[in-house]
Structure 1
Amino acid sequence: MSPSREAPVEFRFNHYGTYLKKTFGGRVFRITVDGGFTCPNRDGTVGVGGCIYCNNDAFSAGITAPHLPVADQVRLALEEKRGKKRYRGARFLVYFQKYTNTYAPPDVLEKLYESALVGEEIVGIVVGTRPDCIDGEIARVLKKLSEKTHVSVELGLQTTSDEVLKRINRGHTFEDYLKASDLLAREGVEFGVHLIYGLPGDTRENFLKGADEVSRTGASLVKLNHIHVVRDTELERAWRRGEFSPPSFEEYLEAVCDFLERLSPSVVVARLISTTPPELLLAPRWEVGSARFVTMVNEELERRGTRQGALFEEEGKAVF
């Protein structure tokens, strides 16, 4: 008799890994590349210095050779992964993550994105950007590319509060998000939203409003992050002066579960907790990895007897 295997986990939320397997028919991983971009709130277009919590070195981990053209970065990453058992038979999405990856003329973007599609294992691209860096032309470039491969845009909203967006030197407004999401939805381009819990001056109510807005605006995916105090940022300086403290682990776990209950069941949950290289992270240092946190969220939802979408309301009627 063969040894018994553990039953597969029944997720109480729309799990990203499960979504990828259903969409692509197997295991899918990301290859992170550096497209050579900057941000409009760093170069003076809308501001300088960047967001108060941002050190882009925290997003550079895993980029094989950022000094090379994108196509070569992808090829090198594929060569590296082909030799590892974990990636045997897997396929990959190319992730343009660092800085603002639509911050260039549309013709430049089109060539750059297409240059990433260098092998059969590449099944699409993911483009991280700001809501104020999507216009009609860029949305059409993304639409055109989506007709030949998978395309997903990740909009860094971070919070629904304009007051907090200003305080963290984000350089865009909630209205910018509404415009960007509408442009992408009209073109039929899949998009997701990044939100952060615990930003200076923000509230749990604003965070939970994010669930309502992600659902209402047609996002297909959400990534949740807890605020990190990272070295060489303005937030580090505020933290050292005693002007800012991140929320507790218990508070964040509870807030995430509250968020999921209000989130449309159709939205895929691609992240529940932030990750930063340990040499850059100052606080909080919870020593809880992503996989363990996913399990803890699932267990808390089970304890509550609830799941994603339990309190979601559409046209005034609860789904469950």
Structure 2
Amino acid sequence: MWDRQNRPRIYPAFLPHAGCPYRCVYCNQYAVTGGSGGREGSDLLRGRAAIEDRAERSRRSGIPGEIAFYGGTFTALPEALLDGLLEAAAAGVRDGVFTGIRFSTRPDAVSEDTVRRLQAFPIRTVELGAQSLSDAVLLASRRGYRAAAVEAAARRVRAAGWALGIQLMVGLPGETPSRFQGTISKAVALRPDFVRLYPALVLRDTGLARWFESGRYRPLSLDQAVERCAFAFDRFLKNGIRVARMGLHADPELDRPGTILAGPCHPAFGYLVRVRWWRNRVDAVMEGRAKTPAPPEGGDAVALPDGSAPIRSRNQRSAVLHVPSNLLSEALGPRRENVTYWTRKWGWDGLDVRPEASAAVEGRNGRLCVGDEEFHL
């Protein structure tokens, strides 16, 4: 079962485009974070002010957490700026208001020398903005590195003893369903502690906006993006990799008219992905059930390939779905659309969705009972 309760506390500080060697075709951090650029000296003052503000929030809450630097390429900042921010953050760790330092950065900005230098500070988590692990997609998106750079950076982060996060995007230029699936397989092989999934949106004042307006780029529909992320979510879930987020954080800047020109934007994107996961999982179980021959009368029952309970009959017209109570809304879907979908697709006269304590579903994501058959999801 995925656990959304045991999340680390994070106090984010945003440094839009700081340290970035150039702007990626899809990126407009000023639109995403509401920040603005500046010179190195002003960036240091702004960064220190943000650190002190987050430290004060931590003191008021009484819950220490990681101070996190997002929005730029942290490890590519000028040395004086990087050291100044790290020293200010480390002071907060020594004072007990922060539990450690977290930052996001480009994979090609995590060299062995950089790692050695950072080990003097209380780094706890590194998030690699990989975006894709397909060389074709990285090239088409003008990221400036290949998948091998992501793999090398991940190994260095692991060797340093830091927690590893991987940020991925769905719907980038050059992406196909097979290339995205390949990216997910490679990401699983890196064994990150967590991943984040973001849909590619067409933001104003970006290269992607120009490509979109000229017809060179076509973003995914919301349904396509949700389906691809549901596939990724399932793979990560099965491999014990936490999905920390799906979709962009809500921000008033993104809601301004003209900021998002096109793309699969939805305020509850992650919820829609989890709703689709339930739909796909039940469908997969039922499709497997349909392909498994019923046992001969009086003979032994035939087990499903995934180890679910044996098949005993094929004429059941109703079903019961047992769901952890905290995941009930995701299983039902908005306006109970999953229930409507399943009953129509599988010809059930009825589907009873029952919320239960997690222990009742044996630590799994749920159980589907069709007559006297039972399948773990």
> Residue 89 of structure 2 is aligned with which of 116, 128, 131?
116
How far apart in 2 are the matches of 1:295 and 1:100?
29
Residue 178 of structure 1 deviates from its aligned partner by: 1.3
> Residue 267 of structure 1 is aligned with which of 236, 241, 262?
241
Question: Secondary structure of 2:255's match?
Answer: coil
Q: 2:260 aligned with 1:281, yes or no?
A: yes
Give the 3 Å change call, closer, same or farther, for CA 268–252 of structure 1 in structure 2. same
Which residue of the partner structure matches residue 95 of structure 1?
A: 68
> Residue 2 of structure 2 is aligned with which of 6, 9, 13?
13
Whether contact under 8 Å (1:127, 1:154) holds in the other structure is: yes
Q: 2:160 aligned with 1:187, yes or no?
A: yes
Which residue of the partner structure matches residue 241 of structure 1?
A: 214
Question: Secondary structure of 1:266's match?
Answer: coil
Whether contact under 8 Å (1:184, 1:190) holds in the other structure is: yes
Give the 3 Å change call, closer, same or farther, for CA 218–129 of structure 1 in structure 2. same
Q: Mapping of 1:15-54 within 5 angstroms?
A: 15=4, 17-20=5-8, 28-34=9-15, 37-40=18-21, 42=22, 50-54=23-27
Whether contact under 8 Å (2:141, 2:174) holds in the other structure is: no
How far apart in 2 are the matches of 1:231 and 1:141?
37
Whether contact under 8 Å (1:106, 1:137) holds in the other structure is: no
Whether contact under 8 Å (1:66, 1:73) holds in the other structure is: no
Q: 2:107 aligned with 1:134, yes or no?
A: no
How far apart in 1 are the matches of 2:137 and 2:34?
28
Question: Secondary structure of 1:247's match?
Answer: coil
Residue 93 of structure 1 deviates from its aligned partner by: 2.4
Whether contact under 8 Å (1:194, 1:222) holds in the other structure is: yes
Whether contact under 8 Å (2:16, 2:33) holds in the other structure is: no
Give the 3 Å change call, closer, same or farther, for CA 266–110 of structure 1 in structure 2. farther
Give the 3 Å change call, closer, same or farther, for CA 301–244 of structure 1 in structure 2. same
Which residue identity does 1:283 align to in structure 2? A
Which residue identity does 2:6 align to in structure 1? T
How far apart in 2 are the matches of 1:187 and 1:35?
26
How far apart in 1 are the matches of 2:16 and 2:220?
33
Q: Which has the higher helix share?
A: 2
Which residue identity does 1:68 align to in structure 2? L
Residue 67 of structure 1 deviates from its aligned partner by: 6.4
Residue 69 of structure 1 deviates from its aligned partner by: 4.8
Structure possessing the higher relative contact order (Cα contacts under 8 Å, 6 or more residues apart)? 1
How far apart in 2 are the matches of 1:159 and 1:169?
11
How far apart in 2 are the matches of 1:182 and 1:296?
33
Whether contact under 8 Å (1:221, 1:267) holds in the other structure is: yes
Q: 2:176 aligned with 1:199, yes or no?
A: no
Which residue identity does 2:262 align to in structure 1? A
Larger radius of gyration, structure 1 or 2? 2
Residues 206-234 of structure 1, C-alpha deviations (whole Å, 9 max, x = no match): 22222222221231111101001011011
How far apart in 1 are the matches of 2:43 and 2:54?
11
> Residue 161 of structure 1 is aligned with which of 105, 123, 134?
134
Which residue identity does 1:180 align to in structure 2? A
Question: Secondary structure of 1:175's match?
Answer: helix
How far apart in 1 are the matches of 2:169 and 2:155?
22
Instruction: Extract unaligned runs of 5+ from structure 1.
Output: 1-11, 21-27, 43-49, 307-317
Q: How much identity, in percent, do the aligned residues show?
A: 25
Q: 2:53 aligned with 1:76, yes or no?
A: yes
Residues 141-167 of structure 1, C-alpha deviations (whole Å, 9 max, x = no match): 344434xxx611111111112222122
Of the structure 1 ranges 113-122 and 170-179, higher mean CA displacement relative to structure 2 is found in 113-122
Of the structure 1 ranges 259-268 and 129-138, higher mean CA displacement relative to structure 2 is found in 259-268
Of the structure 1 ranges 199-208 and 114-123, higher mean CA displacement relative to structure 2 is found in 114-123
Whether contact under 8 Å (1:208, 1:262) holds in the other structure is: no
Question: Secondary structure of 2:121's match?
Answer: helix
How far apart in 2 are the matches of 1:116 and 1:36?
20
How far apart in 1 are the matches of 2:44 and 2:101?
20
Residue 66 of structure 1 deviates from its aligned partner by: 5.5
RMSD: 3.0
Residue 14 of structure 1 deviates from its aligned partner by: 4.8
Which residue of the partner structure matches residue 276 of structure 2?
A: 300
Which residue of the partner structure matches residue 170 of structure 1?
A: 143
Residue 200 of structure 1 deviates from its aligned partner by: 1.3
Which residue identity does 2:113 align to in structure 1? E
Which residue identity does 1:284 align to in structure 2? G
